[in-house]
Structure 1
Amino acid sequence: MAEHSDEQTEHLVRRLVEANDPMRGKQIAPPRRSAAELRRLAEQRRGDGRWRASTRPGVRLRSLVPVAAVALGVGALVLVNVLPTGVADRAEPIPVAMAVAPAALGLQFPGPADPAGPWLRELAERTARLPESAGPGRYTYQHSQTWSLDSTGADPAAANAVLARDEQLWWAADRSGREDITVLPGQPGDEEQTRWLDGPPSGTDPARTDYRPGELAVVVDEPATDPAVLTRQLSAHEPFSNGPQAVIRAVADLYRFHEMNPALRAAVLHVLTETSGLVLRGRVVDRAGRVGVAVSVDSAAGATRDLAVLDPDTGHLLSYEQVALISPPRSAVRAPAVISYVLYLAHRRTDQLG
C-alpha cells in the first residue's frame, strides 16, 4: 500500500467524509434534545442494551446495522451507521482482538471489470417476466444476518469492535409488528460460526421488540414498480447526489424491509442499470453458500467498495457488503478488509407474528 503525505491524507479525508455524508443536501431540523440529555441517553444504552431515538413522537426505528457509510479519521477507521431519521439499536460489541474478520469473497473478476449495466438490464427484463410469488398474509416477514466492524464507541477497550446479529422482523401495513434480534458469535471466519437459516434454534432467547400501530418506520413506505418513481423514493432515503455508492446502499436498505415481488425486483435492477460506475465482478459464492453474480462500485476517493450479490435466476439481492480499500494510519484495519455485510435469508408474507 502506497504511503500518503499528510497533505494527501487530509485531502482524502475531506473527500471521503463529504462523499459519504448522509445529510449532504438535506435541511437539518433543530435538535429536540440538549447535549446533556443525549449524554444521558448514551449512558442508558449500557443499562438496557438498546438505544432508540426518533424525529417524531411515537415512532421507533429499526437498526440498519451494518449498512454503513465509511469515513477516514486521523489514525482510525470510523463506521457511521446511517439511518434516515434516528439512531440505531445496538448490541454490546465484541472487541476486535477476540474476533476474526471474514475473508474476502472469491470474485470471478477481482481486477479490471466491465460495466455491469448490460447484464443488469438483461436480468431486469428476465425478472419482470417471472410469475408473481407473493402469498397472502397480514405481515411482511424478513430474516437477515448482519456483521460489522464498529469503531464509534467511546470506550477505547471496545475500539474496532464487532457487531454480529440474527434479525427477524414482522411488520403490518399499519406499521405495527415485532422484531427479534439475537447476538451471533463474533467470528464469521470460524468454522463454528452459527448460521440460523430458518431462525434461532429452540430455546434461544432473542431480544424482542413489539411495535404498536404507527410505531415502526420503514425504508420507503410503498416502493414503486416504476423505475423513475422508485429512483426518487430511494434518493430521498439515500441521496444519489452523494455518488453511485448511495444507490447500492439504498437498495440494500430497501431489501431489509419489503417482500420483493418480481415487478419490484425488476424496477430495482433498472435503477441499478442506470447507475454509472457499477462494474460486473462475475460469479461468486456468498457467505450463506449461495451462488450469485456480484456487482460493485468503488467510492470515496477509492477508499471503499460496495458490493452486491444477485441471484442470476430470480434477480433477488442475496447479500451486500462493504470493503475498505485503504488502510488508515495506525488503524487495526488492514486493507483490503471486509468491514460489514448483510445476508438476506428469507422474505415472505405470513399471518403468524413471531
Structure 2
Amino acid sequence: MTDELDLLREANPVSADTGPWRDRPLNARAELLLRQLPSRDRGRRTVRRVVWSLEAAAAATVLALALTVSGTPSSAVAASRPLPLVAHASRADVSLAEIVRRARTAAEESPGKSERGSHFQSWAPSMKSGEDPVTLPRESLTRWNADGSGFALEVATDPRHPGRPVIEDGPPPRTVHEGKVLSEERYPPGINSANQDYFEDPPAGASALRAYLAVWSPGADRDPAELLSAVQSFLTVWTPGPRQRADIVTLLSGIEGIRPAGTVADRFGREGQGFRFTSAPASRYLIVLDPDDGRVLDIEETITKADPEYRVKAGDVMSYTAYIS
C-alpha cells in the first residue's frame, strides 16, 4: 500500500491550494496525472516482456510441459526459444523515408479510421533465476463495438506448428488450429473498452500521436526505447487505419540510430522491410514494416549481452509481437 500512496502523493492530482474538491470533477490535468499512475512504475527495463496474467502463464507453462514430455519427435520444440528473424540486404531494399512517403500517399488516397481491437501473436520467456525458460507463444484477438460491447480471446499456440494463426476472426471468433484457450471473455454494452490503456481514440498527426502515447507510457515523448515500447503496446489495443499507420512510421523514422537491416520474412512468412535499433544497455530491436503502406508487421527484441543467471546468450530472442491485423 505504501508504494501506491507514494505514487498518488507524487502525482498530487488535487493540490491543497485548489480549494474544496469533494463536490466537483477532476480537471483535465488531474485526470491526466491519474491516468499516468499505472505506468509510473514501469521504468526503463533491460528486458521488456509481455506481462501475462498468472492464470494465462500457468496454463501456457502446463501446455508447454505436456508437449515437451509427450514423446513426439518434435516435442523438444515446445520448450525451445524462437530463433531470431534474419534480414538480407539487397539493392531492392526500400528506405524508411520512402516507406513514410508511401504511407502518407496511401493515407491521402484513403484516410480510413483506426479500429479499437487487435489480433496479434506474441512471445516472451518466463524468466526465473537458474531455470531454462518454458513459455509458449500466445495469440490474442480483441474486438469492440460502438456500444462498448466486445470480446477477448487468448490462446496458447502449439509451437510444433509455428508460422500460422490459430484464431480465425469473425462473428464469432474460433480457434482453428491446435492450441490451449487461456481466456475467453465477452462484454455487454457499456464502457468495458475503457478499462484498458489507450481507450481514447488516437489523434491525427505524428506529434499529437507521440503526446497521446506519452500519456500511457511516460518517456515516449523523449526516449526512443520508450517510444518503441509504446508503439508496440498501442498496436495490441488498436488496429490503425492508413492515417495512423503513416503517423506511426513517421515517428519511427525520427528515432535516432534506427538503421536499415534488409528484407525479412516475419513470423508469418510475410515479406517486409527490416530496421534495427539498439537501446542501452543490452537490447536490440528489429522492426519489420510493410514497404507499401508502412504497416508494422513484427517487432522483435534480442539481447546483446549474455546473462548466465537467466540462461540467456547474446543474440537470444527476448520477445516478439507479430501483428496479424
Same fold, TM-score > 0.5, yes or no: yes
Report the Cα offset of residue 285 of structure 1: 0.5
Answer yes or no: is the 8 Å Cα contact 1:146–1:340 preserved in 2. yes
Distance 1:329 1:120, change over 3 A: same
Trace 1:48-127 onto structure 2 (pairs within 5 A).
Answer: 70-71=45-46, 81=50, 90-92=56-58, 93-94=60-61, 99-109=79-89, 118-127=97-106
Answer yes or no: is the 8 Å Cα contact 1:324–1:335 preserved in 2. yes
Report the Cα offset of residue 227 of structure 1: 1.3
Answer yes or no: is the 8 Å Cα contact 1:147–1:341 preserved in 2. yes
Larger Rg: 2
Distance 1:192 1:159, change over 3 A: closer
Answer yes or no: is the 8 Å Cα contact 1:145–1:345 preserved in 2. yes
Q: Which amino acid aligns with 1:240?
A: A
C-alpha deviations, 1:26-57, integer Å up to 9, x for none? x82379xxxxxxxxxxxxxxxxxxxxxxxx9x
Give the match for residue 42 of structure 1.
none
Q: 1:226 aligns with which of 189, 205, 217?
A: 205
Distance 1:314 1:225 in 2: 17
Distance 2:82 2:213 in 1: 29
Distance 1:263 1:91 in 2: 35
Distance 2:270 2:49 in 1: 29
Distance 1:82 1:100 in 2: 19
Tell me, yes or no, if structure 1 residue 196 matches structure 2 residue 166: yes
Answer yes or no: is the 8 Å Cα contact 2:272–2:288 preserved in 1. yes
Answer yes or no: is the 8 Å Cα contact 1:120–1:270 preserved in 2. no
Q: 1:313 aligns with which of 292, 301, 308?
A: 292
2:249 is paired with a residue of what secondary structure?
A: helix
Give the match for residue 247 of structure 2.
267
Q: Which amino acid aligns with 1:146?
A: S
Distance 1:80 1:28 in 2: 23
Report the Cα offset of residue 109 of structure 1: 4.3
Answer yes or no: is the 8 Å Cα contact 1:118–1:273 preserved in 2. yes
Identity of paired residues, percent?
22
Report the Cα offset of residue 166 of structure 1: 1.6
1:343 is paired with a residue of what secondary structure?
A: strand
User: What is the TM-score when the length of structure 2 is the normalising length?
Assistant: 0.68
C-alpha deviations, 1:184-204, integer Å up to 9, x for none? 12x3xx456763263522897
Answer yes or no: is the 8 Å Cα contact 1:176–1:211 preserved in 2. yes
1:222 is paired with a residue of what secondary structure?
A: coil
Q: 1:214 aligns with which of 183, 187, 191?
A: 191
Q: 2:142 aligns with which of 169, 181, 184?
A: 169
Distance 1:88 1:274 in 2: 37
Query: Runs (4+) of structure 1 moved beyond 6 Å?
Result: 202-205
Which sections of structure 1, spanning at least 5 residues, go unmatched?
Answer: 1-26, 32-55, 62-67, 72-77, 347-354
Higher helix share: 2
C-alpha deviations, 1:119-145, integer Å up to 9, x for none? 45334433333424569xxx7442211
Give the match for residue 277 of structure 1.
257
Tell me, yes or no, if structure 1 residue 329 matches structure 2 residue 308: yes
1:240 is paired with a residue of what secondary structure?
A: coil
Q: Which amino acid aligns with 1:102?
A: P
1:320 is paired with a residue of what secondary structure?
A: strand
- How many residues end up aligned between the 2 structures? 265
